[in-house]
Amino acid sequence: MSRPKPLSGFPEFLPAGRIVENRVLEIVTSTFELHGFAPIETRAVEPLSQLARKGDIAKEVYVVRRLHADAADADELGLHFDLTVPFARYVLENAGHLAFPFRRYQVQKVWRGERPQEGRYREFTQADIDIVGQDALAGHHDVEIPLVALDVFEKLHRDLGLPPVQLHVNNRKLAEGFYRGLGIEDTAGVLQRVDKFDKVGPDAVTQLLTAEMGLSEAQARACVSLAGISATDESFVDDVRALGVEDPLLDAGLEELSALVRVARRSVPDRVVADLKIARGLDYYTGTVYESFLVGSEKLGSVASGGRYDSLASDGRLTFPGVGYSFGITRILAPLISKGRITASRSVPSAVLVAVDAEESRDQAIAVAGALRSRDIPVEVAPKADKFGKQIRYAERRGIPFVWFGAGYDDSVKDIRTGAQTAADPAIWSPPDGDLRASVSMDGNER
């Protein structure tokens, strides 16, 4: 059998990379729980009609069918392309069992049939948080969500050395109100083109707005001027007012966005930027929107995003407005892991390898390993009896720092990095705290 070729867009990490990913997910999920978010998981597939209910995403969806399904069993299903749409369905199905406002987190794979490139994959892991109300949801949750996100990113920066982020925020009410004040009716179409600002530049956006949307030159330039406004404080309000456009929805958006920036600035200075070109492509967002960029790796684009949605979930009688945030775990980690910028100190969890003198003494080695594991020390037993030098080299290849000798009769443990060997009792010996788990290093700086 020939060696299989990798599938583009479906990243698979080696064990050391997976250890890094697990450590990141530990920090992410533990932070979510500190903020009171409960875990859920939804199925991988949804009816195509549900997936396409909001936004034009037909080209992105992977269709799923049974190979031998007959016509009567040919329901059109697709793999979910994000976690928000299946979450909306989950809320509708389980509303009678949930306490609102409902705070959930969810970590799962998602699939998108787009062109693979750095930072964009066809299969990847997302970690989402949402707060959902029944019929109403207080506006202060729009401020709370980005603070949770910043808490996550600050811990990843502090504990693992990942690059810090800058969180860019805008408000759809602000943008749509501004466009209405200019006399523009198709505000969604303008938003879609303004969303290309960073990719194509202001002149190209101006041309798109006049050629494709039929805007006058003055209208288009006003839209581009709005998109060019950014600030880390509330000064953006004066900049918007200086453009001379008035509309009640614009006023509401300015008030909501300035409140967010004010609170975030007190909590995490200079990490939040009011960036009025942020639009978010999906059309279910109705208020605040968020995009996050790794400092120094901005070319990756947004690695985490979200926003407020007031009508994503409704059963015709009740409406469930919400606000959420999605972390692109694979998008953040895959480029760093593939380039060797972040790695684990060893490819296995094991801190100790118990050497086997002879196969007849394997039972004693297993007993020593059991005693160590009973105290939460990760251990493996040598796969075969061999010369001690070969067993040490086996541990070195796997990054295991300690080798245990003389299991059951003359116990000693050797730090194979320094060569120091001391007598040890499996009932009380422990490795140093820094060796108990694989450490993670970013650009050579161990954490």
The domains located in the chain, with CATH, are: 15-42+84-343 (3.30.930.10), 346-446 (3.40.50.800)
Distance CA 86, CA 92 (A): 10
> What does the pLDDT read at residue 5?
86
Residue (of 232, 217, 116) closest to 209 by Cα position: 217
Q: For residue 283, name the pLDDT band (cuts at 50, 70, 90).
A: low
176-189 mean pLDDT: 93
Of 21-30, 107-116, 343-352, give the lowest mean pLDDT range.
Answer: 107-116
| Residue 28, H or E segment | helix 15-34
**The whole model's pTM is what?**
0.90
Determine if residue 56 is labeled as part of a ligand binding site: no
Q: Residue 117, annotated ligand binder? A: no
Q: What percent of the chain has pLDDT over 90?
A: 76
Q: Is 355:391 a contact under the CB 8 Å cutoff?
A: yes
Would the pLDDT of 215 be above 90?
yes
Q: Which two tokens stand for residue 346?
A: 């060893």
| Over residues 225-252, mean pLDDT | 96
Tell whether the model's pLDDT for residue 310 goes beyond 60.
yes
Query: In a 3-state reduction of DSSP, which class is residue 339?
Result: coil
Centroid of chain to Cα 179: 32
Q: In whole numbers, what is the pLDDT of the chain averaged over residues?
A: 92
CB atoms within 10 A of CB 147: 18
- Is 285 annotated in a binding site? The answer is yes
- In this prediction, residue 53 carries a pLDDT of 67
Going by pLDDT thresholds of 50, 70 and 90, the confidence category of residue 202 is: very high
Residues 8-25 have a mean pLDDT of 95
The per-residue pLDDT for 3 is 84
Predicted confidence at residue 428, as pLDDT, reads 96
Using DSSP, how many helices (H) and how many strands (E) does the chain show? Answer: 15, 20
Residue where the block lists tokens 């760093």: 336
pLDDT value, residue 410: 87
Which position has the token pair 């969303």?
Answer: 195
Among 20-34, 69-83, 238-252, the minimum mean pLDDT is found in: 69-83
Which residue is it, tokens 């980690």?
A: 333
How far apart, in whole angstroms, are the C-alpha atoms of residue 225 and residue 87?
36
What's the Rg (C-alpha) of the chain? Answer: 27
Question: Is 166 annotated for ligand binding?
Answer: no
pLDDT tens string 93-151: 999 999 999 999 999 999 998 888 877 899 999 999 999 999 999 999 999 999 999 99
Residue 198 is labelled as binding a ligand: no
Q: Is 221 annotated as a binding residue?
A: no
Residues with Cβ within 8 Å of 109's Cβ and at least 6 positions away in sequence, in order, are 44, 123, 124, 125, 126
Average pLDDT on 364-382 reads 97
pLDDT of residue 56: 52
Mean pLDDT of 192-212: 91
82 belongs to an annotated ligand binding site: yes
H-type helices in 140-227, by residue range?
140-160, 172-181, 187-194, 197-200, 202-211, 217-227
Token pair for 48? 């195509």
